Amino acid sequence: MAKYKLSVLAKAHDWLPNLQKHWETVRCVDCHSSYEPPNLSHNILPRDATVKKCEECHSKNSILMTKLFKHEKAQSRQKYGFINGTILSDAYVIGTTRNIYLDFMSLVIFGIVIVFLLIHIFLRWYFRPTKFPIKENNHNE
C-alpha cells in the first residue's frame, strides 16, 4: 500500500485482522456501502455506519452474501460465459460439468461397437445359407 501512498487507508483499517487478505478478497463497497435496496453499492455510508464486526461477514447468514456473492457470480459469468458462469457457481447440474476424457472414451467405445456391428452384418450376409438357390435355366432344345 506504500507505493500508492495509502498509509492513511492502512492506518484506518489496522483494526482488521489479516488486513492484506481482507483487501485481496473483499471490495471496499462491501463494507462501506448500504445493504438496503434499491442502491446497494451506490449508497456510501459514513465512517461510523460501516461494517466493523467480524460476525456480520463471518457467519452463516452473512451480509456479504447479498453483495459479494452477486459480484463473484457476475465475475464468473464474465469469465465462463452466462450459462456456464451461472451453472458452475456452487451448483451441480447433471451433464454440465463434463469430462473430456470420458467423452472421448465413450465416442471410442461407440465407434468400436459400430465397427463390430458392421463387421457382423457383413459376415452374416457373406456366409448366409442360400435358401433360394438361383436356378439355372437349362433350355433343352
- H or E element, residue 107: helix 100-126
Lowest mean pLDDT among 24-28, 58-62, 114-118, 137-141: 137-141
Band of residue 23 on the pLDDT scale cut at 50, 70, 90: confident
- H or E element, residue 87: helix 82-87
- CB contact at 8 A, 50 and 44: no
- Is residue 86 a part of any domain in this protein? no
Task: Indicate if 58 and 103 belong to the same structural domain.
Answer: no
- Strand-pair partners of 33: 44
* Most confident segment among 60-64, 74-78, 119-123, 126-130: 119-123
- Is residue 79 a part of any domain in this protein? no
The values of phi and psi at residue 33, to 5°, are: -130, 165
pLDDT reported for residue 116: 98
- Is residue 93 a part of any domain in this protein? no
Task: Indicate if 103 and 61 belong to the same structural domain.
Answer: no
Task: Indicate if 58 and 13 belong to the same structural domain.
Answer: yes
pLDDT reported for residue 113: 98
- CB contact at 8 A, 45 and 33: yes
pLDDT in tens, 29-87: 777 777 666 656 667 777 777 777 777 777 666 666 666 555 565 565 566 555 554 55
What one-character DSSP code corresponds to residue 78?
H
Q: How many domains does the chain have?
A: 2
Band of residue 124 on the pLDDT scale cut at 50, 70, 90: very high
pLDDT reported for residue 133: 63
- Is residue 42 a part of any domain in this protein? yes
CA dist., res. 51 & res. 91, Å (int): 29
- Is residue 114 a part of any domain in this protein? yes
- Where among 30, 46, 68 does a domain terminate? 68
pLDDT reported for residue 56: 74
Task: Indicate if 104 and 59 belong to the same structural domain.
Answer: no
- Is residue 89 a part of any domain in this protein? no
CA dist., res. 123 & res. 121, Å (int): 6
Q: Give the amino acid at 11.
A: K
- Where among 68, 88, 110 does a domain terminate? 68
Domain with 21, as residue range(s), is 2-68
- Is residue 105 a part of any domain in this protein? yes
- Where among 18, 48, 68 does a domain terminate? 68
Task: Indicate if 25 and 64 belong to the same structural domain.
Answer: yes
- Is residue 80 a part of any domain in this protein? no
Q: Which residue has the higher pLDDT, 22 or 65?
A: 22
